[in-house]
Amino acid sequence: MAALTLEKLTVSFGGLIAVNELDLHIRDGELRCLLGPNGAGKSTTLDLICGKTKPTSGRVLLGNKDITHLEEFKRARAGVGRKFQTPTVFKELNVIENLEIGRSARPGIASTLRVFRTPVSGRIREVLSLVGLEGEMFTKAENLSHGQTQWLELAMLLMQDCQVILMDEPTAGMTVQETNQTAALFRELQGDHTMIVVEHDMAFVRDIADIVTVMDSGSLLAEGNIAEIESNAAVREAYLADVGDDEHA
């Protein structure tokens, strides 16, 4: 069954068509990588799925449920989680408090008024050790390193435990070692969660992707496994050749 379906999804900003009749079917538990040159509409696609941007036309289906016109917080409750390109955590809150915000299974006022402490056990303890922030529980997020901030946002998404997780360049600014750890984490999530990952790091994409979708100028350019994509002439022309150069530079 498809966990997430985009049907002819289109958005234009004052005449500029950022995403053009995009069709996407993502299976339950799949890890889909979204590639494309800058301005191809990858981040905008994620924005359309999580509700940050409203589409001009087309539909977004989560399972069988049409979420095209749902408000952001309702989509989040329905099971769409989002990690932003620049790590977006709450800088004035400490690590535990950030995770408590992430732990949003019961987001209503009636329930949150009754919660007074974060139990540092069970899932929170697990997630903390998974992202290596056990020693930083009471550190304010603004005092974390860039890599740690990325991990904190990932940890918040793990606490949120969404069915579909949208990741915008999750390894940006990470060291090679941190990137490898992230890949390991993603493989762990694979199967239980459906993930869409926008990523430029080809080594990382080869490491994790089930199926790769390549976008160019807002449209779908190619779709297939990594070998098919890398041998696709149109893709090479639009994108991969450039990346290859970048990697050697």
Partner 1 sequence: MNKGFSIDCIGYAMFAVFILLVMPWMVDYSGYELNTYARYLALGMAAAALALSWGTAGLLNLGQALTFGIGAYIMAMHLKLKASASQAGGLPDFMVWTNMEELPWFWEPFHSVGITLAAGVLVPVGIAGLIGGFMFRGRITGVFVAIITLSLMLAVQLWMIAEQQFTGGQNGLTGLASLELFGWSVDIYTVAFYYLVAGCLMVILTLALLLVRSKAGLVLRAIKADPERVRFFGYDVARYEVLAFSISAGIAGVAGMFYAMVLEFASPTYMGLSLSLAFVIWAAVGGRESIVAATLGGIGVNMAEGRLSDLFFDQWTLILGVIFIVVVLFLPRGLFGLVMDFREKLEDFYRNKTTASTASAMESNPVSAIDQGGDK
Q: Least distance (Å) from partner 1 to the CB of residue 25?
A: 23
Q: What is the distance between the alpha carbons of residues 189 and 28, in angstroms, rounded to a whole number? A: 12
Pairing verdict, β 65-66 and 2-13: unpaired
**To 5 degrees, how large is the angle CA 95–CA 151–CA 243?**
155
- In the bound state with partner 1, the residue whose beta carbon lies nearer, of 80 and 226, is 80
Query: Please, what is the minimum distance in Å from the beta carbon of residue 225 to partner 1?
Result: 30
Cα angle 224, 168, 184 (rounded to 5 degrees) comes to 70
On whether the CB atoms of residues 34 and 196 are closer than 8 A, the answer is yes
Query: Measured from the CB of residue 195, what is the shortest distance to partner 1 in angstroms?
Result: 16
Q: Closest distance between partner 1 and the C-beta of residue 71, in Å?
A: 8
Contact indicator for 189, 160 with CB cutoff of 8 Å: no
191: left (phi over 0), alpha (psi -120 to 50) or beta: left
For partner 1, which is the closer residue by CB, 38 or 116?
Answer: 116
What is the smallest separation between the CB atom of 140 and partner 1, expressed in angstroms? 10
Per-state percent for the chain, helix, strand, coil, to nearest 5: 40, 25, 35
Q: Of 119 and 191, which CB lies nearer to partner 1 in the complex structure?
A: 119
Residues interacting with partner 1, by CB under 8 A? Answer: 50, 52, 71-74, 76-77, 81-82, 84, 88-94, 96-97, 100-102, 104, 107-109, 111-121, 134-135, 137-138, 156, 160
Between residues 61 and 96, which has the closer beta carbon with respect to partner 1? Answer: 96
